[in-house]
Each structure stands twice: as structure tokens, then as C-alpha cells.
Amino acid sequence: MIPHTVPHVLRIGPARLTAGLDHCRRLDLPAHRTLHGEPVPRDLDTLIAQVDEVDLRGRGGAAFPFARKLRAVAEASGSRERVVLVNAAEGEPASAKDAMLLIRTPHLVLDGALLAAEALRAKEVVVATAEGEVGEASIAAAVAERRAANIAGASESRISIRVVGVPERFITGEGGALVRGVNGLEAVPPGRKRRASESGVDGLPTLLSNAETFAQLAILAELGAAGYAEVGTEREPGTLLFSVAGSAVVEAPSGTPLADVLDLCEAEIGDGVLVGGYHGAWLSAATAVATELSREGLRLAGGSLGAGIVVPLGESTCPIGEAARVAAYLAAQSSGQCGPCRLGLPELARTLRALTEGSGSTDSVRRAVRAIERRGACFHPDGTARFVLSALDAFDTDIALHLEHGSCGRPIRGVLPLPEAEEEPEYRLDVDWTRCEGHGLCAHLLPEFVDLDAYGFPSFRAVPAWMAKEARRAVEMCPALALRLARTDGTPAPASPLRLVGSGVT
């Protein structure tokens, strides 16, 4: 399987995760084995000791110690079966590193996942990725290559490998949402925190980490702890993958100056640099120039490594306008399951947009942030709040121009990558006034879209597509059966299944 187009790869220092990609669009199994050899299985204690020695952390955003995940799965499972789940969903529009690994060097990811599965005596490796994309086809082809070559051997052959496509949405990569998607449910956060190490795929103890983490594990097994630590910093050895400006993937040793990576990509800092992704933080130009790319270096700068995303803003676009675009996108990407997402994120996006128009205030934005922080069913509200607050700090000069003149004089060029806008249907709630008795339940269920008059009767505002599920709930629960949901273009809304209690019919 040779893809027509592949993510562009650059590097500073030695090629590890990107070895061989100067000459090959994609490393098939023979090419991969020539470069990396065949990994030697380790028992669990040996693997944990090696991972601990280099302090390998998850590369999906939370930087959780990988050794602790291994121990948690081993201790939670007892004699039960276990599963290894590779998170390659990568819902962030500005990220390309996991897609690069799946498309160009998929066997490195599989080697790492199988090493962990062998050590844990897991029954299955599941690779979850965006459905219908090139990465899904490439990793599925890699699995087929291994089966066809019959190189697995007795130990590896007992570990099945399954590729699962999940919807490409921002929240799909959240751990709980991904597990739900793999289990055949809607890929949204479950609301209550449940550790995958205790109950994940099929309810089994599951080792969940992202694609780069497993690729790093394969490199660690290949080089050994001492070889792995030959580059990088003393506390954070090894190399890192960075998605730069949404167009290139750069491999660089931990501790590399951010300025060196931007120079390599011929990227202009301009008004600032976003690090860590859309749940990350903005660095001012002065801070970015002096920042090293490591967990510690970015923490000292006020940012985070996150998912390894670096987006320089340049000087030709409106900084606060770019931030407002992303805030609106993040509000629409929520699952709409809790108040901070349903009510708070749209309000936060509105206050930031008002600021770009010169009619708002930073105080109103900060009030909207306080209404959602530490109150969500998942980290999405907190991550969005972090992104917005850092924009207020990094772009204070630009904001002052907007408040004084209504604009900074620059257009919003769309520098921050976002998916192409899909025209989503808009819905409306219609009411049969001969039935409506003014119970007010619809306003309680949909307070952001339903107003009650002085007599308790409702009036309605248009309902966006991402809130259609909640609107259907209001229709189903109306005591007088007076509501129905329709599209604003006049076509009927798709019905949701109702369970008729006691009838056995759905």
C-alpha cells in the first residue's frame, strides 16, 4: 500500500521515528525490518524497568508516565484478559504526527503495541484511527502484510490485531470517548471518569496510549535505555515529534530551541506561537524565542508540550480573530452533555467574538471562563478555557486596538488549521398550540433555545445540529405531546428511536 500523498517530514539531529523516510514514502514490512530489526519480547518487569529508566511519558497530551499505565493494567487484571489500545484518532486539526506514523511507518507503531501486549499477555491490540482516512488504510495494510508474511511466530500469533475507524471529531481522541467508540457506542466522553486500565475495550483492563508513545517504545526496545538517552536532555531523553503549522512533522531531540524548529520550517513567529494544540497555550513572540521544546522548558514558558503541536501566527493575520475562530470551533465540537459545554462554551465563543468586534471586554471573557472551569464532564471546557485565557495574555496589545478602534486593521486569514466547514442542518422546534399547556419543561431542558413568556408559554430560537439530540429529548418528554422537531429548510428531522416501556418495541 503506497499512498499518493504523505505528510512532509523534517528533522533536527538523528532520525529515529523518521528513519528511512528520506527515501521511502512508506516503509513496508521488509524495509521496516531492514532498518529496525525484529523486536525481542520482554517480560513485564523488564519492560517496566526500561521504560522507567528513560521516564517514557504518553505523547498524546497528558504526559502520563507509561510505566504507571503498564503497572495499573497488570495489577487491575489479575488473571483476566487484557487489551492494548492505540489512540491514533488525532482529532486536533493542527496535528499530523500520528497520521504521519500510521501512513509512513506503521510497523513501528505495531512493534511497540505488540511489545506491550506480549509483556502484559494481552489477547488483542486495537488501533483506533479516523475512519475513512489514509492512516486507517495504511495501518490495515500493515496488519495484512504481517499476516501474509507469516512472521509473527507462536507468541505474537496469539495476539490478534484489529483496526477500528472512529468519527474524526475533536473530542473523539479523549480516552473515555475513544473506548466508547471502539465498543460500538457513540464516541463521546462517558461523563463519569472510568480508568481504561480497569475497564476499557469490551470491559477488560486496557493499556491506552497514543500512536507516538508506542512508536517510542519500539525505538527504546531497539536502542536500549543507554542508546535512547544519547540525545535529548538528561531528565527527558530521546526525540519528540512536532506538528508544525499543520503542514510538516519535525523530529527533534528534547530540549531543542523552539526557534530552531521554526527556522527549519521557514516559519515566522509574528505575534506569537501556539504550543500544545487547541487545548494548549499561546506564547508571546519574546517568550517563544527563548523557549526550549521539552515538558520542563514549555512549563517554564507558561505552555505545555501537549500533543506536540506548534503553530506560529505570523504578522499578517488578526491574532484575537484567529483565537475566536478556534473558540467557536471548540464550542461546536463539544458533545453537549453537560452545562459547561452546552451553555458555557458557546457563551465563551460569543464573548471572544464580541472582543474582536470591539464591542466586548476582557472582563466578560474572563467571567465566561470562570463559569466553565473545573465543571465539565471531561477536560474539553478546561482545555478551551486555557487556550482563551492565554490568548488574552499574549495578545493584549492587539486587544487594546480592537477595543479602541473596533479592529487591529488586519484581516483574519485563517492561519490556524480548521477542518473545512461542512454545511450542517439547522433545526427548529414547532409547537401545536392546541395541545400546549405551558408546562415549561422544554425551557428547563433547553434553556438556551427556549424562552417563556409571562404566562409560561414558549418561544423558540433555531437549534444547531450539535444540539439536535437534546432537542429531540425535549420533544419526547413534552407532557402534552405538543412539540416536534423540524429542519429550518422545511424537511423533516430524522426521528430518534423511542423505547416504549413494557412493550418490548424500540
Q: What is the pLDDT of residues 102-115, one digit of tens each?
A: 999 999 999 999 99
- Of the pLDDT bands very low, low, confident and very high (cuts 50, 70, 90), residue 137 is very high
Which domains, from first to last, does the chain contain?
8-228 (3.40.50.11540), 320-405 (1.20.1440.230), 427-487 (3.30.70.20)
Q: Residue 309 and residue 416: Cα distance in Å, rounded?
A: 11
Q: Residue 216 and residue 232: Cα distance in Å, rounded?
A: 13
Specify the 3-state DSSP secondary structure of 84: strand
What is residue 274's DSSP assignment? Answer: E
- Of the pLDDT bands very low, low, confident and very high (cuts 50, 70, 90), residue 334 is confident
227 or 377, which is more confident? Answer: 227
Q: Residue 399 and residue 498: Cα distance in Å, rounded?
A: 49
471 or 152, which is more confident? Answer: 471
449-506: per-residue pLDDT in tens?
A: 899 998 889 999 888 776 787 788 889 999 999 999 988 876 666 654 333 233 333 2
Question: For 121, left (φ over 0), alpha (ψ -120 to 50), or beta?
Answer: left
Place of cell 495489577: 75
CB 17 within 8 A of CB 59: no
Q: Residue 342: what pLDDT? A: 77
What nine digits make up the cell of 276? 500544545
Residue 151 has pLDDT above 90, yes or no: no
Task: Over range 229-258, report the average pLDDT.
Answer: 95
Instruction: Name all contacts of 46-55 with Cβ < 8 Å and 24+ positions apart.
Output: 46/119, 47/115, 47/116, 47/119, 48/119, 50/220, 50/221, 50/224, 50/225, 51/217, 51/220, 53/225, 54/220, 54/225, 54/228, 54/229, 54/237, 54/238, 55/235, 55/236, 55/237
158-183: per-residue pLDDT in tens?
A: 799 999 999 988 888 889 999 999 99
Q: Residue 492: what pLDDT? A: 62
165 or 190, which is more confident? Answer: 165
Of 67, 88, 298, 113, whose CA–CA distance to 172 is shortest? 88
Q: What is the model's pTM?
A: 0.86
Q: What burial class does residue 468 get, using C-beta atoms within 10 Å of its C-beta: 0-12 exposed, 13-18 middle, 19+ buried?
A: buried
Q: Residue 61: what pLDDT? A: 77
Q: Which helix (H) or strand (E) holds 147?
A: helix 134-149
Q: Residue 46 and residue 52: Cα distance in Å, rounded?
A: 10
What is residue 491's DSSP assignment? Answer: P
Residue 313 has pLDDT above 90, yes or no: yes
CB 347 within 8 A of CB 371: yes
Q: Write down the H helix ranges in 271-373.
A: 285-289, 295-301, 319-332, 339, 345-356, 362-370
Mean predicted lDDT score pLDDT of the chain:
89
Task: Over range 300-323, report the average pLDDT.
Answer: 94
- Of the pLDDT bands very low, low, confident and very high (cuts 50, 70, 90), residue 149 is confident
Other C-beta atoms lying within 10 Å of the C-beta of residue 501 = 7
Inter-CA distances, 166 with 86, 183, 418, Å: 12, 10, 19
Q: Residue 501: what pLDDT? A: 31
- Of the pLDDT bands very low, low, confident and very high (cuts 50, 70, 90), residue 233 is very high
Q: Residue 335 and residue 333: Cα distance in Å, rounded?
A: 7
- Of the pLDDT bands very low, low, confident and very high (cuts 50, 70, 90), residue 310 is very high
Residue 208 has pLDDT above 70, yes or no: yes
Residue 122 has pLDDT above 90, yes or no: yes
Q: Residue 97: what pLDDT? A: 95
370-429: per-residue pLDDT in tens?
A: 999 888 778 899 999 999 999 999 999 999 999 999 999 999 999 999 987 666 678 889
Q: Which region among 144-153, 290-299, 361-370, 378-387 has the lowest average model confidence (pLDDT)?
A: 144-153
Q: Residue 455 and residue 438: Cα distance in Å, rounded?
A: 8
Residue-wise DSSP of 465-481: GGGHHHHHHHHHH-TT-
Phi, psi angles (nearest 5°) of residue 213: -60, -45
- Percentage of the chain modeled with pLDDT above 70: 93
- Percentage of the chain modeled with pLDDT above 90: 72
Phi, psi angles (nearest 5°) of residue 101: -60, -45
Other C-beta atoms lying within 10 Å of the C-beta of residue 14 = 12
